[in-house]
Every structure is written in structure tokens, then in C-alpha cells.
């Protein structure tokens, strides 16, 4: 804690449009209700609340009411926690009390009920769309070039060589699309996390290597399955129809 001034978290600093060294006009809502100019001594990274911190001595001088305690963090044995928690709630001088477990449980319940359910659904839809796009792309390519591919078979190309020409082109497109998908996916995740920023809590965007690996595997596996399905169509190309055409 800085000996003088106030320390605020980054979220509150952004909302107030201040940085370290700037001065805040602070109005005390209790006691003498004085208005003071207090410098921002430190900006901290914190993902919970919109809070400011001062030492008791600095706060006492600013309020002209001497040192007061506005809150306390207690390390309590879990065996006596229920009794202590009940006693704290019964004291009129304490506005509220909460345990760390309750805060974490509340956030966990919200994640389980809302965000994780939404993520499971969107992940399933994203995987389905990825497979559908890749499979349709291969089917369209075969349909548009069926005559050309059959002509190559008539000229002596084997099924593997014809498949190599078709799948090689699609594989190049797929490998080019994966890095672009990484970039667009990160921007979408950043937008999603930014939309969840509230005064109560913030979420930090953390994308590790495993996320990119899983996304790439889904696309590649979709490509392999699609190629296996389309391979049957290559095996049944109508070479007789090509021989009958006059051009």
C-alpha cells in the first residue's frame, strides 16, 4: 500500500479516466462529509469489484475523523466458521459479512448455469459447422470437376492420383484457413469476454496452446472424414459418359 494517496484497480481507473499521478475529488458520505483532493498513487490489477484502497492513517487524515476500520479479512478455522458467521451477522455495527467460499461458489454456480452451458452449445455448433463447410466444399469441388476428373481417369490416371489432385487443392485451402481461423477466433473470444465486464467482476482472456491445438484437430479430423466420404464418389466416376461426349 502507498503511504499516501489512494490505490485503485485498473477497471475503476478506466471508468474514471485517470492514471497514476492524477488527482481524484473524493466526497465522504459519512461523518463530516468532507470533499478532498486525493492523488492516485497506484493502479493495481484486480478482477473483482471497483475498489480503492488507502492506509488507515492516510484515510483518517483525509476524512479528519481519525483512523477507522471499514473492513477486515479474517483467517478462521473451518470448524468455528458457522458460529462466527452467525455472530457477525447479528452484530448491528457490521453491515455485512461474507466468506471466500460463498463468493467462489456464487461465481462457480453462475459459470455452470450460464457461461459453461452456452460454451458447450456453441462449441458443438462450431464443430458441426466446421465439418459441414469442409464436407460441402469437397462435394462441390467433386461435382464441378467430376467431368475433368473422369477425363483424367480415361487418360490413365489412377484413382489415387486423381484424389491427390483434388484433395491436395482442398488441403492447401484448409491449411491456409486454420491460421486465419485462429486470429478470428481470438478476436471473437476477446469480444465475448469484454462484453462480460461488470462492476462486480471481470474475466481475463487466456487462450493457451491447447485451445489452438484442439481447434486445429477438429478442422483436420473434419477434413479427413469428409475426404473419406468423398473418396467413394471418386471411385465411381462415370468414365463412360466422358467417352461419349463429343468435345
- In the 3-class helix/strand/coil scheme, how is 81-117 assigned residue by residue? HHHHHHHHHHCCCCCCCCCHHHHHHHHHHHHHHHHHH
pLDDT of residue 243: 56
Domain boundary among the residues 70, 92, 117 is at 70
Choose the final residue of a domain: 70, 90, 122. Answer: 70
Residue 184 lies in a domain: yes
Residue 236 lies in a domain: yes
Q: Cβ of 237: how many Cβ atoms within 10 Å?
A: 20
Number of domains in the chain: 2
Lowest mean pLDDT among 48-57, 120-129, 194-203: 194-203
Query: Does the pLDDT value for residue 153 go beyond 60?
Result: yes
Q: How far apart are CA 223 and CA 105, in angstroms?
A: 41
Residue 187 and residue 65 in one domain: no
Would you place residue 183 in the very low, low, confident or very high pLDDT band (cuts 50, 70, 90)? very high
Same domain, yes or no, for 182 and 142? Answer: yes
Looking at the fold, whether 199 and 141 belong to one and the same domain comes out as yes
Mean pLDDT for the stretch of residues 205-234: 85
| Residue 90 resides in a domain | no
53 and 150 assigned to the same domain: no
Work out the pLDDT band at 133, boundaries 50, 70, 90: confident
Domain that holds residue 201: 101-244
Domain contains 75: no
Asked if residues 33 and 27 have their Cβ atoms less than 8 Å apart, the reply is yes
The answer to whether position 95 is within a domain reads no
Confidence of residue 58 (pLDDT cuts 50, 70, 90): confident
What is the torsional sign of CA 190, 208, 198, 46?
negative
**pLDDT score of 73 more than 60:** yes
Q: Indicate if 43 and 112 belong to the same structural domain.
A: no
> In the prediction, which pLDDT does 236 show?
64
Task: Evaluate whether residue 108 is within a structural domain.
Answer: yes
8 Å CB contact between 81 and 48: no
Asked whether residue 84 is domain-assigned, the answer is: no
Please tell me whether the overall predicted TM-score, pTM, comes out greater than 0.85 for this model.
Answer: no
Judge if 12 and 123 occupy the same domain.
no
Amino acid at each position: 500500500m502507498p503511504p499516501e494517496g489512494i490505490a485503485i484497480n485498473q477497471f475503476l481507473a478506466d471508468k474514471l479516466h485517470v492514471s497514476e499521478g492524477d488527482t481524484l475529488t473524493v466526497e465522504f458520505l459519512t461523518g463530516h462529509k468532507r470533499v478532498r483532493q486525493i492523488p492516485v498513487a497506484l493502479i493495481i490489477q484486480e478482477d473483482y469489484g471497483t475498489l480503492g484502497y488507502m492506509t488507515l492513517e492516510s484515510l483518517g487524515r483525509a476524512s479528519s475523523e481519525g483512523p477507522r476500520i471499514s473492513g477486515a479479512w479474517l483467517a478462521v478455522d473451518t470448524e468455528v466458521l458457522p458460529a462466527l458467521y452467525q455472530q457477525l451477522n447479528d452484530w448491528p455495527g457490521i453491515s455485512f459479512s461474507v466468506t471466500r467460499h460463498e463468493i467462489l461458489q456464487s461465481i462457480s454456480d453462475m459459470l455452470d448455469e450460464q457461461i459453461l452451458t452456452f460454451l458447450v452449445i456453441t462449441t458443438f455448433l462450431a464443430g458441426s459447422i466446421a465439418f459441414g463447410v469442409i464436407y460441402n466444399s469437397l462435394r462441390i469441388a467433386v461435382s464441378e470437376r467430376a467431368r475433368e476428373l473422369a477425363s483424367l481417369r480415361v487418360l490413365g490416371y489412377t484413382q489415387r492420383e486423381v484424389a491427390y489432385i483434388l484433395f491436395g487443392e482442398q488441403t492447401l485451402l484448409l491449411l491456409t484457413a486454420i491460421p486465419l481461423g485462429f486470429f478470428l477466433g481470438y478476436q471473437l473470444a476477446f469480444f465475448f469476454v469484454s462484453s462480460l465486464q461488470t462492476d462486480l467482476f471481470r474475466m481475463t482472456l487466456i487462450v493457451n496452446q491447447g485451445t489452438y491445438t484442439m481447434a486445429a484437430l477438429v478442422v483436420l479430423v473434419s477434413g479427413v472424414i469428409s475426404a473419406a466420404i468423398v473418396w467413394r464418389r471418386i471411385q465411381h466416376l462415370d468414365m463412360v459418359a466422358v467417352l461419349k461426349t463429343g468435345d
